[in-house]
């Protein structure tokens, strides 16, 4: 088991937003768990989407606004995964503290569903894989 309880996150700021970020090399079904101290947006994305996010281009992510901690994301496939915890906007920053860890697969743990997820995702009686694919969003 790999222990990823290293320094919390890297602080990053762009012209329009501030955010915390951390990268994990994760395998399918491993769980990325993020602890947040207040409601904020938590996004999970691959390296390619992280690059687009930083450049202000269109990107795809899993996650959204979470009001409770911890936030759990069951990794859908092997990749380098980036966790982004948004700290509000440039004009309206939030003082958010977060930490994250990568935990081994556990068949009883499901991905957290964002409070701003569409109703059909939150109420889905679908399998976890279907719910995860329904929960992916694009912005930019």
User: What pLDDT, on a 0 to 100 scale, did the predictor assign at position 27?
Assistant: 94
- Residue 135 maps to a domain: no
- Residue 119 maps to a domain: no
How many CB atoms within 10 Å of residue 26?
22
How many domains are contained in the chain? 1
Q: Confidence class of residue 7 from pLDDT cuts 50, 70 and 90?
A: very low
Give me the CATH number covering residue 33.
2.60.120
- Residue 87 maps to a domain: yes
User: What pLDDT, on a 0 to 100 scale, did the predictor assign at position 121?
Assistant: 67
Backbone dihedral region of 135: left (phi > 0), alpha (psi from -120 to 50 degrees) or beta?
alpha
Q: pLDDT of 86-139, one tens digit each?
A: 998 778 888 889 999 999 988 787 887 777 777 766 666 445 555 444 456 666
Q: Which domain holds residue 96?
A: 10-110
- Residue 48 maps to a domain: yes
pTM for the whole structure: 0.76
Q: Which residues pair with 73 in a beta bridge?
A: 32
Q: pLDDT of 39-81, one tens digit each?
A: 999 999 999 999 999 998 999 999 999 999 999 999 999 999 9
- Residue 5 maps to a domain: no
Angle at 53 between CA 52 and CA 59, to 5 degrees: 70
- Residue 117 maps to a domain: no
94, 11 Cβ separation under 8 angstroms? no
């Amino acid at each position: 088991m790999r222990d990823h309880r290293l320094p919390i996150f890297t602080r990053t700021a762009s012209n329009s937003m501030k955010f915390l970020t951390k990268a994990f090399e994760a395998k399918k079904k491993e769980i990325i768990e993020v602890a947040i101290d207040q409601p904020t947006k938590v996004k999970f994305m691959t390296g390619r989407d992280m690059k687009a996010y930083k450049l202000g281009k269109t990107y795809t992510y899993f996650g959204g606004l979470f009001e409770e901690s911890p936030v759990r994301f069951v990794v859908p496939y092997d990749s380098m995964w980036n966790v982004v915890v948004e700290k509000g906007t440039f004009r309206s920053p939030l003082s958010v503290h977060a930490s994250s860890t990568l935990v081994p697969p556990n068949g009883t743990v499901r991905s957290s569903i964002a409070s701003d997820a569409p109703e059909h995702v939150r109420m889905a009686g679908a399998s976890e894989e279907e719910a995860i694919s329904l929960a992916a969003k694009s912005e930019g």
